[in-house]
Structure 1
Amino acid sequence: MDIRPEPFVPPAPPHRERLLGPIEVIWTALRNPLELWGKVSYTLPWLETKFFKERTLIVNHPGLIRHILVDNVSNYVMSEIRQLVLRPILRDGLLTAEGEVWKRSRKAMAPVFTPKHSRGFAGQMLSQTEEFSRKYAAAGAGGAVRDISVDMTELTYAILAETLFSGEVAGNKETVADDVDQLLHRMGRIDPMDMLRAPPWVPRVTRIGGRRILDKFRRVVAETMLMRQERMRKHPDDVPQDFLTLLLQLAGPDGLTMDEIEDNILTFIGAGHETTARALAWTLYCVAESPSVRQAMEEEIDRVLASGADPVEWLELMPWVRAAFEEALRLYPPAPSINREAISDDSWTSPEGKTIRIDAGVTVLVMPWTLHRHELYWEKPRAFMPERFLPENRGKLNRFQYLPFGAGPAPVSARPLPCRKR
């Protein structure tokens, strides 16, 4: 007899039962885009929809996802909507660069992510986390109610500032985290003009005020880079080997331009700050509502800490901790959609013998949000069940069934990208 407790089912928008009209689609996308997806999005391997006569293919089948993102990646460019939203902020950062720019940047930055450098970052992460933990324990001594999402935003920014800049940030350090939140809130959201494919020069009402914050934040990044370059010139033997130094060492004709370094610093701040904070907050929330999972994690943590293992090895020695985090990423993926657009006609046949045609110009949405909650690929898809990701169960998962951070190389651009304004 199975005596396991029923798993916790965390909150999520209900599956929509009816089709929405064009105006309803725009309004829902502005309020919460996750409410757009109806029941069929969670039950069919793929489906086609139309918005203002524009065809969109929503893809959930792991094999078709691999075909689009990896096997035939040259036939797909990043969706115009995605680039209209993100390129004004990130320009040629890794998330928005395409084709040769992406390849050159990815190759240049590969040495930054070697195990040697990762071990150094791990030490910085640990020291910031321990300091935050001490403050957190003192602040909660009186039993005050805490907002875990705010707390994790504070923690992740402290870690980010230390690993990127060793704490050496130009301007007012106390306001930088708030500036990041304001920037992403004002500039990182889809606007009705984006959905209507209006060119970049058409004003986006929802981003009024965002340009001022973006310009301010880019000035902070540029001044921080200049401060570090000056230190590298004057005191070459006393320079922290953090992310900023490693990137600046890549500057040159065979590496990155200074503009691209600035773009990538902004990308890592934007992508590494909010996404990590949200993932940690959802993990802690789900674990707090799952006593058996919490107990397994706490026993595992106590055992590993008592062993004296190097902190760099902790994650591999804590399968329950890792599994809980990965399950939270499944339920609340940092990137709820991966948008592409077909360049030429394409087709794909499933192992079951069903063929899907993808015409040139069709927008393709790979939706981690619906894929991760899909009834064809997950048992109890809405439930928090970290055991899915324990080592003995991982082999049951298709590589393209779980995509918290996407997959495959950046596609080659086949159209002019929004211009860079300096």
Structure 2
Amino acid sequence: MQGPAPLSDFEPPAPLPRTVPPSRLEIIRTVLRNPLELWGMPSYTWPWIKTRFFGETTLIVNDPGLIRHVLVDNSANYAMAEVRQLVLRPILRDGLLTAEGPVWKRSRKAMAPVFTPRHARGFARQMHEQSETFLTRYETDNPEGIVRDIAVDMTELTYAILSDTLFSGEIASEGGDFADDVDALLHRMGRIDPLDLLRAPKWLPRLTRIGGYRVLNKFRALVRRTMDERRQRMQANRATAPDDFLTLLLELEGPDGLTTEEIEDNILTFIGAGHETTARALAWTFYCVAHCPAVRERMETEIDRVIASGAAPVDWLERMPHVRAAFEEAMRLYPPAPSLNREAVAPDRYEASNGEVVDIEKGTTILVMPWTLHRHELYWDRPRVFDPSRFLPENREKIGRFQYLPFGAGPRVCIGATFALQEAVIALAVLMYRYRFDVTSETKPWPVQKLTTQPSGGLPMRVTARRRPQHAADTLAESDVSVA
């Protein structure tokens, strides 16, 4: 397969494909430790694999045509997989990621207007302001810079952006370390328990999650206070309440709209998980770029040129193709959602373009796995190498729609995809304009699946001032006028 001229030969860390099938006990241990380490060579070389896990048929799908069939063409036949729901529903209940049927349709319809590409562009100013404000934590007189855990920093930055854009900065808070709370929640609650694999009754306690309920209860209390405070403001004088995501949801509360519980679940979904995917992808981007001088140089040159031109942040997504490409390549290698799980409601059949037929029995678990799909030898040149040139405008048409799924596909495609891409490009541009991010001897991340693809051990990186332009703030402030 002939690919674009490479910008990098860097292979970031990832589990090698297994060469020996795991035993049942080893499956349980690996799923508990890190599901990304479970997959063997066939998962990275075959278009699909039908196998048996714990007495149940599982179809691992990498073929783009079959992926389209499951997620789009016949999506009505594929419900959320039971194991996925056993993990997520205790956290999110009827939030957008876990709701099904009429509840999901009602919530999706209610939120769609906030996340249209046109509306998302209106958030560019807040994304830029929060990124600029975030820079203050990197200020130091030390010419050698400071070492920061970039994984933690990106969690806090994306949370600040989410709070400002969707909740007008009015999320109730008890203080404390938000990034640690998110990590504790996902570590305890965002993993498959052995009892889930064995399909044990839901009432049977999952011991691996017991420690997470304290943090979950803390988040739910925060959401309820946020809702109460906004309701009081709306009742006192609706004209003074922001026209944001939170107000929109509360105005839909009632017998013909969303229930109070559904609103709470959706706010928790966005506070606890809505920013998490972007945060992880940003952290991995900084890590990969630090290993690729040619990539970083092109990004910096592009950022300097666009900012010097006075272009408004709302236009950066289109005017910074190298920055966007680096972020998208990081999402290829470290997809924020490494697996999409479905379950066949009724028997189905798919015929591939080469004539091969896949028969799908009722109850079959379908695993559409961006983790293996994005590293698959049939669909990518040098699949383990970080090379953003794949995603430059002149090469994008070579990437099939169902070959690359950082935001999923079909009716349940991520509602915030445009929001996330714009947020990421603005954040990367602001931070890389002022600073450089380099690895240290302690930077030894290992990708681990906990809902998102997280760097085990964090991402300590050295942050040093690249330059301090005298008129940068004035230039950007003037450019923001065109956003209003």
**Structure number having the greater strand percentage:** 2
Code of the aligned partner of 1:190: I
Q: How far does the alpha carbon of each residue in 1:126-179 deviate from its partner, in whole angstroms, 9 at most, with x for none?
A: 111001113223387553322211221221222222223333232413344432
SS in 1 for 2:19: coil
1:392 matched residue in structure 2: 394
User: Does the 8 Å CA contact 1:337/1:365 hold for their aligned counterparts?
Assistant: yes
User: Does the 8 Å CA contact 1:165/1:243 hold for their aligned counterparts?
Assistant: yes
Q: How far does the alpha carbon of each residue in 1:20-68 deviate from its partner, in whole angstroms, 9 at most, with x for none?
A: 1111000011111000000110000001121222111100000000001
Code of the aligned partner of 2:111: M
Further displaced range: 375-384 or 166-175:
166-175
Residue 300 of structure 2 corresponds to residue 298 of structure 1: yes
Residues 215 and 67 of structure 1, relative CA distance in 2, 3 Å threshold: same
Kindly report which structure 2 residues correspond to 1:7-406, keeping only aligned pairs within 5 A, or say none.
7-115=9-117, 117-138=119-140, 143-406=145-408
CA RMSD in angstroms, aligned pairs only: 1.9
Residues 228 and 5 of structure 1, relative CA distance in 2, 3 Å threshold: closer
- State the shift of 1:409 in Å: 1.8
1-structure distance, mates of 2:410, 2:196:
25
Percentage identity across aligned positions? 68
1-structure distance, mates of 2:46, 2:370:
14
**5+ long unaligned stretches in structure 2:** 414-484
SS in 2 for 1:305: helix
2-structure distance, mates of 1:93, 1:234:
28
SS in 1 for 2:163: helix
1:409 matched residue in structure 2: 411
2-structure distance, mates of 1:235, 1:123:
26
Residues 295 and 112 of structure 1, relative CA distance in 2, 3 Å threshold: same
Residues 50 and 120 of structure 1, relative CA distance in 2, 3 Å threshold: same
- State the shift of 1:267 in Å: 0.8
SS in 2 for 1:47: strand
SS in 2 for 1:146: strand
Code of the aligned partner of 1:199: P
Residues 232 and 176 of structure 1, relative CA distance in 2, 3 Å threshold: farther
User: Does the 8 Å CA contact 1:232/1:239 hold for their aligned counterparts?
Assistant: yes
1:416 matched residue in structure 2: none
SS in 1 for 2:341: strand
Code of the aligned partner of 1:284: F
2-structure distance, mates of 1:189, 1:265:
21
Q: How far does the alpha carbon of each residue in 1:328-382 deviate from its partner, in whole angstroms, 9 at most, with x for none?
A: 0000001111111112211111111111111111111001000000000000000
1:420 matched residue in structure 2: none
- State the shift of 1:121 in Å: 2.2
1-structure distance, mates of 2:6, 2:356:
39
2-structure distance, mates of 1:141, 1:172:
35
Residues 254 and 132 of structure 1, relative CA distance in 2, 3 Å threshold: same
- State the shift of 1:410 in Å: 4.4
Code of the aligned partner of 1:103: K
2-structure distance, mates of 1:351, 1:46:
14
Code of the aligned partner of 2:320: M
User: Does the 8 Å CA contact 1:341/1:362 hold for their aligned counterparts?
Assistant: yes
Q: How far does the alpha carbon of each residue in 1:47-90 deviate from its partner, in whole angstroms, 9 at most, with x for none?
A: 11212221111000000000011111121111100000001111
- TM-score, normalization by structure 2: 0.81
Residues 127 and 139 of structure 1, relative CA distance in 2, 3 Å threshold: farther
1:414 matched residue in structure 2: none
Code of the aligned partner of 1:125: M
Further displaced range: 179-188 or 83-92:
179-188
SS in 2 for 1:409: helix
Further displaced range: 300-309 or 63-72:
300-309
User: Does the 8 Å CA contact 1:82/1:339 hold for their aligned counterparts?
Assistant: yes
**5+ long unaligned stretches in structure 1:** 412-422
Q: Which runs of 4+ in 1 moved over 6 A?
A: none
Code of the aligned partner of 2:215: I
- State the shift of 1:236 in Å: 2.2
Code of the aligned partner of 2:397: G
- State the shift of 1:194 in Å: 0.8
User: Does the 8 Å CA contact 1:97/1:410 hold for their aligned counterparts?
Assistant: no
Q: How far does the alpha carbon of each residue in 1:250-274 deviate from its partner, in whole angstroms, 9 at most, with x for none?
A: 3233432221111111111222232
2-structure distance, mates of 1:177, 1:160:
14
Code of the aligned partner of 2:28: I
User: Does the 8 Å CA contact 2:325/2:391 hold for their aligned counterparts?
Assistant: yes
SS in 2 for 1:41: helix
Code of the aligned partner of 2:240: D
How many matched pairs? 410
- State the shift of 1:240 in Å: 2.5
Residues 140 and 40 of structure 1, relative CA distance in 2, 3 Å threshold: farther
2-structure distance, mates of 1:102, 1:293:
41
- State the shift of 1:217 in Å: 1.2
SS in 2 for 1:336: coil
Q: How far does the alpha carbon of each residue in 1:285-306 deviate from its partner, in whole angstroms, 9 at most, with x for none?
A: 1111111111111111111111
Further displaced range: 400-409 or 246-255:
246-255
